[in-house]
Amino acid sequence: MTMTTSTTFTLLSRTAVATALLSLGLGALSLTGSGCGDSLDEGTTSGKRVVLETRVESADDLAVPSVNARGWTISWGRVLVSVSAFYYYDGAPPSLARSVPSPAWKRWVGIPVAHAHPGHYQAGNAMGQMLTASSFDLAQGTTILSTGEGVTGTYRSGSVLFGSPAQGIHAADLGADVILVEGTASQGAETRMFRA
């Protein structure tokens, strides 16, 4: 028997894109995932195989113009994204993962904890994946991607691999780029078109 579960990835908030455009780089991805467990024992999973229906959507309604911190009204034309894979884990997302406090003597001397060290975050067990490369336009609303596969249990975090060269319906527009953002920024009588 195959079960179906749904996983939603919220990729770019309006503030994140506006901030990224001002700094000439894109980042700040927010990932959330969910799965289903079917074990009767609390905190365990039976490990049954499931089909994962993955969809992507913007955290904000990109059809509605927004005002950034500098007073510019941003209108989104296209927000194209190319992905190659999604991976799902049972560990807490990095923003919620607990860090080990540094010893008191290091704090007194002023030696900080090296948070960039890869050993500080553990994604947990791999619970599922969606491996079909595709591209989509976040400004057009929710996009349903290809199905993936996984096992039952609690999905707490995920990772996205961007794909270059782009695949899917926006491959020609993206080429070797993984993100393309187009729109207008207006302030008073001045309007500027942007493409990044």
Domain spans in the chain, listed from the N-terminal domain onward:
3-70+83-90+125-163
Residue-wise pLDDT for 85-131, tens only, equals: 999 999 888 766 555 566 676 666 766 666 665 566 778 899 999 99
Confidence of residue 133 (pLDDT cuts 50, 70, 90): very high
What per-residue confidence (pLDDT) applies to 146? 94
Average pLDDT, the chain: 77
The span from the CA of 30 to the CA of 48, in Å, is 27
Average pLDDT (146-157) is 92
DSSP, collapsed to helix, strand or coil, labels residue 82 as: strand
Distance CA 11, CA 50 (A): 23
DSSP H or E segment with residue 14: helix 14-22
